[in-house]
Amino acid sequence: MEELSKIKGIGPKIVSNLNKLNIYNTYDLLTYYPYRYNMLNRTTLSNTIDNPGLITGVIESDVKVAYIRRNFNSLNFRIITENKIVKVVIFNRAFMKNNLIRGKEISLIGKYNNKTNSFVASDIKFEVIDKPTIESVYHLTSGITSKQLNKLINSVPSYNIDDYIPSIYSEKYNFIDKSSAISILHNPSDIKLLKQAKLRTIYEEFFTFMFKMNYLKYKRTINNIGLKREVDKSKVDEFINSLPFKLTEDQETSVNDIYRDLVSPQRMNRLLLGDVGSGKTIVATIGLYINYLGGYQGALMAPTEVLAVQHYETLTKLFKDLKIGLLVGSLKASEKKKVIEKLRLGEIDILIGTHAILSDNVEFNNLGLVITDEQHRFGVNQRNILQNKGTLTDVIYMSATPIPRTYALALYGDMDISLIKSKPANRKEIVTMVKKESEIKDVLENMWNELKSGHQIYVVAPLIEDEEDSDLNDIKKLKDNYVKAFGSKVNIDILHGKMSKIEKNRVMEEYKNGHIQILISTTVIEVGIDVKNATVMAIYNSERFGLATLHQLRGRVGRNDLTSYCYLICDKDIDRLKVLEESNDGFYISEKDFEMRGEGDLFGIRQSGDMAFKVGDIRRDYKILMQTKKDSEEYLKNGHVDNNYQNIMKNLDFNN
Ligand code: ADP
Ligand code: MG
């Protein structure tokens, strides 16, 4: 592994462009794989009438650029192909103008319209492609093209790259070696080889992940010393009985799991898995209370500031006698300092916060329990840092990502799992309907009724403001429309990720206290917001979101005993949205989501820090996943915790 700047042809500007892609060294560069391949194969003009295809031709005219509107331009010229003059147009490629020189032979990808004798190109290659070619396409930021990136990757001098597939398995499955696989992934010459290279790379990715899981589990069984607490159980029961509701059966079981772990001398590493609205927070809160009664400080970490503040308010109300602290990014430096000082002196019993809790200068007096909310949003490393703040600290991860059981067991193999399947009994099903934009009147009518009953509304759209070339709805436009529809007596406001923290908090506060009646936002409200009075949600362009996200969003309503409504507004016929009309059960929806492979966002797992596989896809490659689970268990059982694997642990910052 070497620094990027050591490679010939890579200057500071390219380094900074590569850094934007999270590429920091030659290893990152080599393993920055294409996300897609273009099959380039020359065809005839008439073959590109119905489906796009690749043709070649000689430029026959000058090139005219037309700037149509902001961010929208076209290039027009003519080519000679098949002894015919054909008009060519390509959009938003003004930057190519100087390369399109009369007399030059080029390749064009696109479709031919024989009535107007024009070829609408989607891409142009400045070379003649006359034999079948596979082109690598990379995720990019501006400043670098796929072709340039591919060239840079190919200029990395070869060196020994650790291969993490144990030889017994490479031999068993007849895998090609790692450096060949890497080279093929970037420069495939045929599909068969590409498949072999992918298979091998996916296997390695999954194997290391699964091995990690199994290794952590194994380490817990041989060296499992945690904090043993003396806890007055009657106080815990008293607290539970003082709550305004009765715990559900699953909540009770989860509380018992946690209690058992906290009073036993083993270290807890538990996943609290439950659908949105299933009531995980109160279970976590009881856990923090048990920990407090046992004499330790506790911490609760949330993925957003809005959510942290909400937890803070909930806990402050529940525990009048406990000292609860809040540590979030937007606090003034002096306030932060005060909180940190108190924490160190043990003058705070429970600390609630965002990632700010992870900074080095935050020191606990005697941390006993750490809870992370919406754990799939945090990476493994962040989780680890927190866990290591106290040497024997117990840990609970909360996740509203209901995934099918077999996956949960594989992907969270290192943890014990408490499952909250049932929802509080007072919940009504959320009435969910797919609606066309032309049917919006029905939706508005029902919104009006709900507003008259004093209820509140969420409206969600994919964009913040209008973008050229996009016909998606944006929240600024929707706000205008809603103000027009409801008049000035209804208080309407917006929320999105680009607002300042202070603004966001203000809007959330005003929505919570009922001042704002209709909140129009992007998906920033997805996580954990709890406003019981909200009964309607409308999600525009819902075809843009995965089932998981939609289900999570929908979970913001139906948080009381009123009937709530969710409108999935969508002009396309999308079958998968029907799953949401059918069911309110996150576990059922996730099963369906997994069945309908290829679509959906897999409950956010792909983006999460700990399961962001580069090539592997846990749904598509389910069989490989399960095979690596089996193989890695076997490998560990046979005593193969050799240096190679100690190394993996170290590299992955997993060895605490
Ligand atoms: P999530 O699992 O999505 O984090 P929350 O913990 O936010 O769900 O709980 C959703 C709402 O349900 C909260 O307002 C909470 O007070 C309430 N709640 C939790 N448990 C129960 C219960 N057993 N009965 C009635 N309401 C409950
Ligand atoms: Mg929650």
Tens digits of residue pLDDT in 125-150: 998 998 888 989 898 877 788 888 99
What is the reported pLDDT for 656? 31
Tens digits of residue pLDDT in 410-419: 777 778 889 8
pLDDT at 514 > cutoff 50 = yes
Q: How far is the CA of 210 from the centre of ligand 2 (A)?
A: 28
Tens digits of residue pLDDT in 199-212: 999 999 999 888 88
What is the reported pLDDT for 605? 39
Q: How far is the CA of 278 from the centre of ligand 1 (A)?
A: 6
**Nearest ligand for residue 276 CA:** 1
252 touches ligand 1 (CB under 6 Å): no
- Using CA positions, which residue lies closest to atom 13 of ligand 1? 279
Q: How far is the CA of 432 from the centre of ligand 2 (A)?
A: 22
What is the reported pLDDT for 609? 38
401 touches ligand 1 (CB under 6 Å): no
What is the reported pLDDT for 219? 74
313 touches ligand 1 (CB under 6 Å): no
Ligand 1 atom nearest to 314, measured from its CA: 16
Nearest to 54 by CA among 147, 159, 102, 125: 125
Task: Please give the Cα distance from 337 to 407 (Å, whole number).
Answer: 42
Is the pTM for the entire model greater than 0.85?
no
Torsions phi, psi for 167 (to 5 deg): -60, -35
Measured between alpha carbons, how far apart are the two ends of the chain, in Å?
A: 24
What is the reported pLDDT for 91? 93
CB 509 within 8 A of CB 462: no
- The average confidence (pLDDT) of the chain is 87
- Using CA positions, which residue lies closest to atom 18 of ligand 1? 279
Percent of the chain with pLDDT over 70: 91
pLDDT at 624 > cutoff 70 = yes
CB 507 within 8 A of CB 524: no
Ligand 1 atom nearest to 278, measured from its CA: 2
277 touches ligand 1 (CB under 6 Å): yes
Tens digits of residue pLDDT in 539-556: 999 988 888 788 888 988
243 touches ligand 1 (CB under 6 Å): no
In this structure, the number of other CB atoms found within 10 A of the CB of residue 287 comes to 27
What is the reported pLDDT for 618? 79
What is the reported pLDDT for 616? 86
Query: Probe ligand 1: pick from 559, 584, 603, max atoms within 8 Å of CB?
Result: 559
DSSP 8-class letter at 474? B
527 touches ligand 1 (CB under 6 Å): no
Torsions phi, psi for 174 (to 5 deg): 60, 45
Q: How confident is the model at residue 607 (pLDDT cuts 50, 70, 90)?
A: very low
Nearest to 656 by CA among 380, 350, 418: 380
Ligand 1 atom nearest to 274, measured from its CA: 2
DSSP 8-class letter at 374? S
What HEC string does 190-216 produce? CHHHHHHHHHHHHHHHHHHHHHHHHHH
584 touches ligand 1 (CB under 6 Å): no
pLDDT at 256 > cutoff 90 = yes
310 touches ligand 1 (CB under 6 Å): no
530 versus 443: the higher-pLDDT residue is 443
Burial 105-138 (b: 16+ CB within 10 A, else e): ebbbbbebeeeeebbbbeebbeeebeeebbbbeb
Burial 408-441 (b: 16+ CB within 10 A, else e): bebbbbbbbbbbbebbbeebeebbbbbbeeeebe
What is the reported pLDDT for 525? 66
In this structure, the number of other CB atoms found within 10 A of the CB of residue 31 comes to 17
Q: What angle do CA 557, 559, 562 make, to 5 degrees?
A: 90
Sheet holding 430-435, edge to edge: 430-435, 564-569, 534-539, 456-460, 518-521, 492-495
- Using CA positions, which residue lies closest to atom 19 of ligand 1? 279
Q: Summarize the confidence of residues 247-276 as an average pLDDT.
A: 92
pLDDT at 275 > cutoff 90 = no
Amino acid code (one letter) for 367: L
Percent of the chain with pLDDT over 90: 53
pLDDT at 606 > cutoff 80 = no
Torsions phi, psi for 259 (to 5 deg): -60, -50
**Residues in CB range of 336: below 8 A, 6 or more apart:** 327, 356
What is the reported pLDDT for 483? 96
Tens digits of residue pLDDT in 471-508: 889 999 999 999 999 998 999 999 998 898 889 889 98
